[in-house]
Amino acid sequence: MKSEELCSYLERIRSARNISQEIFTNGIVSLRQYRRYLNGESDIPFQVVDKLSEKLGIQTINLLSEIEATRYEETKKVDKFYNAVVNYSKNDVLNLISYFENLPFIDPENKLLYLHGVSLHMLLTNQVTRGETVQKNKELINYPLIFKKSIITLNEMVILSSILDYSEDPVDAEEISTRLKAYLQNRSFVLGTGHEPIFNLVLFRLARYSGKNNLFDDVISYCNMGIERNHSQKFYYLLDYFYYYSSLAYYQLGDMVNYEIMLVKCFNILHTEGNEKKIEKFALMIYEDFNIIFNDFVVNYYQKHNQE
pLDDT tens for 152-198 read 888 999 999 999 999 999 999 999 999 999 888 876 666 665 556 78
Mean pLDDT of 42-61: 86
pLDDT of the residue at 44 = 87
* Whether residue 220 has pLDDT greater than 90: yes
Q: 153 forms bridges with which residues in the sheet?
A: 191
Angstrom distance (rounded) from CA 158 to CA 14: 32
Instruction: Give the number of other CB atoms < 10 A from CB of residue 75.
Output: 17
pLDDT of the residue at 43 = 86
User: Could you give all domains of the chain from N- to C-terminal order, each with its CATH number?
Assistant: 1-58 (1.10.260.40), 196-308 (1.25.40)
Q: Is 10 within 8 Å of 34 (Cβ atoms)? A: no
Angstrom distance (rounded) from CA 45 to CA 27: 15
Chain centre to alpha carbon of residue 144: 20
* Whether residue 1 has pLDDT greater than 90: no
Angstrom distance (rounded) from CA 114 to CA 79: 9
* Whether residue 146 has pLDDT greater than 80: yes
Q: What angle do CA 182, 195, 209 make, to 5 degrees?
A: 40
215, amino acid identity: L
Q: What percent of the chain has pLDDT over 90?
A: 62
* Whether residue 305 has pLDDT greater than 90: no
Q: Is 208 within 8 Å of 168 (Cβ atoms)? A: no
Provide the pLDDT confidence category of residue 232 given band limits of 50, 70 and 90: confident
pLDDT of the residue at 188 = 66
Element (H, E) at 106: none
Q: What percent of the chain has pLDDT over 70?
A: 95
Angstrom distance (rounded) from CA 242 to CA 238: 6
* Whether residue 119 has pLDDT greater than 80: yes
For 63, 160, 164, 263, the CA distances from 167, given in Å and listed in that order, are 43, 10, 6, 30
pLDDT of the residue at 98 = 95
The answer to whether the pTM exceeds 0.75 is yes
